[in-house]
Structure 1
């Protein structure tokens, strides 16, 4: 019997838990066995590809998961050290389901798993992950491995290295060869970008990489590998200014998100990067003969208003979605969108199996900058049109009551309500502002984003809404 409750570690989109208290080789093996029985065998997958990041527990957990999968006659290919988007590349190019062992930006004592079907199609709570969790729990509770489906002949587990192919594929999507020389500081945060950046931005490109924290170290000795937190960008910002670089790039632990700093050391909004890359991807499609109004771009509802405005100005179709990669990927596939962006710095591409890859977004930024003489700050200025609060989390006892207080006040101000994901309130009259208030799925939190036509209005709305949210019932 086991004391592990998989309901505590299997989240909406992935697995995340403390090692070894919540995630050890026995748990990993049970999840591998369940993944084979719920996803790989019923859906006729040709096999499963497994990778892991630089965390010390990664190789052992990945091997246990692979053994669980192979015990059911499903072949496994181990790709070893990889970024999450490198695993997605392997899933897409090899036509296999995938499992990536990573806890992304979480502290060193954590590990986790991101699962996908062949072609990097996501596996979440509503698309098989809950069934994987429940079967794995059944196996653990009974000290079993195989469960309902067994194979008399375990499949082979082999190994391959896809890093060079991954790098070549990305370089084939964005041509940097004709651009002006650029100097870029890259902060890998001791995460997997230290493994992938040298391969992608290596020889033959007019790009000089100035590395920060490229040593793979799952204890994160320099700072957390979470660029969403401003303090984790400070070293990069200072290095860009001190070394006179053209820009800076910061990746999270598993290198699927990319944040950008301009030549003055100022963070560039991920919404501005979304608008920039959208402009390039729509332009590429139009140049290839697709009418602009048949080109779709997906963005989530907390992206800056500048994103849908840019898409409209391009003549393309904007598709607004809920926050979360499963929603983005579903809408990407449904609309055959060329690109999708989230304000969290996840960027999705049709040419990358609708999966997210921070590295491909970085290549687009480098290419756009290399094609002009002006600095990055000038390049993105047209996409940074509004004042934004960033996401602010508040601990609340009654999220429903807090939300209703904000709704009532905003409607009095002439705002219009939208319930796509939590509550969005938009006031079009001058001074324009909009806000999003969303409850967390796992914590007693409300997440607030405010954007306005000017800084003073944004601050006034932000402060008043926070007072309403944090008011005691």
Structure 2
């Protein structure tokens, strides 16, 4: 029996493991074989498109996966180096199931796979990934990388370049040419934005000066981790924005499916503010096309600022609140035919991009919004910064139900209402107004706390009281 246990690194939404101890070419072939048998063939998919990021292990792993798929008579299109949203573009435009080899912002020792059906429809633990995992484990335990070959011919493996088409498609959705000239510093973090930003943003007809930081593709991440959620990874961008006198800065994560914004002062702009800004633009576009605002929906997860649903409601559109996680956002967007969806983690989803997340399209919206008015970035988004947030705070807790129960009782005693859509959310509408979310991690004995209030002192009081209860200390 193989020593590899796929359950250790096949997660809720993707595959993410150490190379080669967990994710090796042999494992990739078995996963490709299982993907063909569980998803591609039974669902009548017409083929699979495979792309990869800049990690040294990515080309070999993606080739092994393609071989496993092709062994079952399924044709494979390889697109080589790409961002995750570049793979989603290929899946949507070519009508193919997809596999993207990336570990996103994880350190260099890791790699992973994001799987989707045609039109970028997700494959997660509840929608096929668990079955793919189990079949691949069965194959590996028997010393096989794939089951018996397809009775007919093996599938073909054909290379195709889609970068230019991807860039042209995004630029067709947001036209920057009519705006004022902007200087933008872009930190690619040595990730895939180093490939996609030049293709999308550095055409000669755009009123942009792009100042590049760390555009060299390097999966060892020599400058900083490609995870802009961590404040220390934004410091170089913030310094460059000030040094260049730039209008704004944009940072992408390793596979460039998320974007983060800093204003002209080098101050980070919250993903909730970006969600509200893009929601305004997408709703306005629908209304301009003749659709009543009341028929337009925007999805947000329950950790985004209250500014988001308030902004959507002020436009006369419908705000749809959902659980955290891309599979939930995408499902709600499809159900409500939403034009846009945003998460607190800087994932932004678009109906016009097959309901998939794309950091580059969100960045185009930000650039267009800033270019269409004369004020600074801080002024553009300042109206969305109405509340004070704690950010996500993690606590390692052994008795999760006990901790949640203590917190619930404390909040109920202070007039808050409860809902359990995703973990526990407590909301106090009376003054002083506050709300918080307390959610369990899927993989660790952790509780994740997010608090928001109208002023800092209230936020800090609630934050400290809840953390004290979670960590079994006396609350203030």
Question: TM-score, length-normalised on structure 2?
Answer: 0.98
The answer for the alignment partner of 2:329 in structure 1 is 328
Paired with 1:350 and 1:27, the residues of 2 have a C-alpha distance of: 34
How many Å separate the matches in 1 of 2:31 and 2:152? 19
What is the aligned partner in structure 2 of residue 181 from structure 1?
A: 181
Residue 31 of structure 2 aligns with which residue?
Answer: 31
Query: Partner of 1:78 in structure 2?
Result: 78
Structure 1 CA distance, aligned partners of 2:380 and 2:459? 24
Instruction: Render the CA deviation track for 1:387-445: whole Å, top value 9, x for unaligned.
Output: 00011111111111111111000000100000000000000001100000000000111
- Asked if structure 2 preserves the Cα contact closer than 8 Å seen for 1:37 and 1:149, the reply is no
Could you tell me which residue of structure 1 aligns to residue 456 of structure 2? 455
Q: CA RMSD in A?
A: 0.9
Verify the 8 A CA contact 1:418 1:424 in the aligned structure 2.
yes
Which residue is 2:168 aligned to?
Answer: 168
**Contact 2:392–2:448 (CA under 8 A) maintained in structure 1:** yes
Closer/same/farther in 2, CA of residues 202 and 399 from structure 1, 3 Å limit: same
Q: Return the alpha-carbon distance in structure 2 between the equivalents of residues 232 and 292 of structure 1.
A: 39
1:281-308 CA-partner distances (Å, limit 9, x unpaired): 0000000010000000000000000000
Structure 1 equivalent of residue 118 of structure 2: 118
Q: Is the 8 A contact 1:52 1:81 kept in 2?
A: yes
Q: Does residue 1:200 correspond to 2:200, yes or no?
A: yes
Quote the Cα distance in structure 2 between the aligned partners of 1:151 and 1:436.
53
Q: Secondary structure at the match of 1:383?
A: coil
Correspondence 1:445 to 2:446: yes
Q: Say how many residue pairs are matched.
A: 473
| 1:107-162 superposed Cα distances (whole Å, 9 cap, x missing partner) | 00000000000000000000000000000000000012332773341110000010
CA 1:413 to 1:26, structure 2 compared with 1: closer, same or farther past 3 Å? same
Query: Which aligned pairs between 1:301-320 and structure 2 lie closer than 5 A?
Result: 301-320=302-321
Q: Aligned pair 1:66/2:61, yes or no?
A: no
User: 2:105–2:227: 8 Å Cα contact kept in structure 1?
Assistant: yes
Q: Distance in 2 between matches of 1:31 and 1:73?
A: 15
Contact 2:27 2:145 (C-alpha < 8 Å) held by counterparts: no
CA distance in 2, matches of 1:321, 1:265: 31
Secondary structure in 1 matching 2:383? helix
Kindly state the Cα deviation for residue 471 of structure 1 after the two structures are TM-superposed: 1.0
Contact map agreement 2:189 2:253 (CA 8 A) in 1: yes
- 1 CA distance for matches of 2:259 and 2:247? 16
**2:96 maps to what in 1?**
96
Decide whether the 8 Å contact of 2:32 with 2:68 is kept in 1.
yes
Distance 2:89 2:299 in 1: 21
The aligned counterpart of 1:271 is 272
CA distance in 2, matches of 1:145, 1:239: 48
> Match of 1:380, SS?
helix
Does the 8 Å contact 1:71/1:151 carry over to 2? no
CA distance, structure 2, for counterparts of residue 471 and residue 382 of structure 1: 38
Write out per-residue CA displacement over residues 208-229 of structure 1, whole angstroms, 9 at most, x where no aligned residue.
1000000000000000000000
Gap regions ≥5 residues in structure 2? none
**Equivalent residue runs for 1:62-461 within 5 Å:** 62-147=62-147, 150-203=150-203, 204-461=205-462
CA distance in 2, matches of 1:149, 1:262: 55
Q: 1:440-470 CA deviation, whole Å, 9 max, x = no partner?
A: 0001110000000101100111111111111
Residue 472 of structure 1, CA deviation:
6.8
Secondary structure of 1:184's counterpart equals strand
* Separation in 2, partners of 1:146, 1:224: 35
Specify the SS of the correspondent of 2:136. helix
8 A contact 1:25–1:64 mirrored in 2: yes
Q: Secondary structure at the match of 2:327?
A: helix
Which whole-Å CA distance do the structure 2 matches of 1:57 and 1:149 have between them?
Answer: 26
Give me the whole-angstrom Cα distance separating, in 1, the residues matched to 2:108 and 2:335: 37
Task: Report if the CA contact (8 A) 2:79-2:159 is conserved.
Answer: yes
> Secondary structure at 1:460's aligned position in 2?
helix
Paired residues of 2:249 and 2:263 also in contact (CA < 8 A): yes
Q: CA deviation at 1:2?
A: 1.2
Q: What is the alpha-carbon distance in structure 2 between the residues aligned to residue 447 and residue 150 of structure 1?
A: 46
TM-score w.r.t. length of structure 1: 0.99
Contact 1:393 1:445 in 2 (8 A): yes
CA distance in 2, matches of 1:148, 1:449: 50
**Could you list the runs of 5+ residues in structure 1 that have no partner in the other structure?**
none
Distance in 2 of aligned mates of 1:393 and 1:45: 41
Shift of 1:55: 0.2
Distance 2:148 2:34 in 1: 10
CA distance in structure 2 between the partners assigned to 1:200 and 1:81 by the alignment: 15
Distance 2:472 2:220 in 1: 39
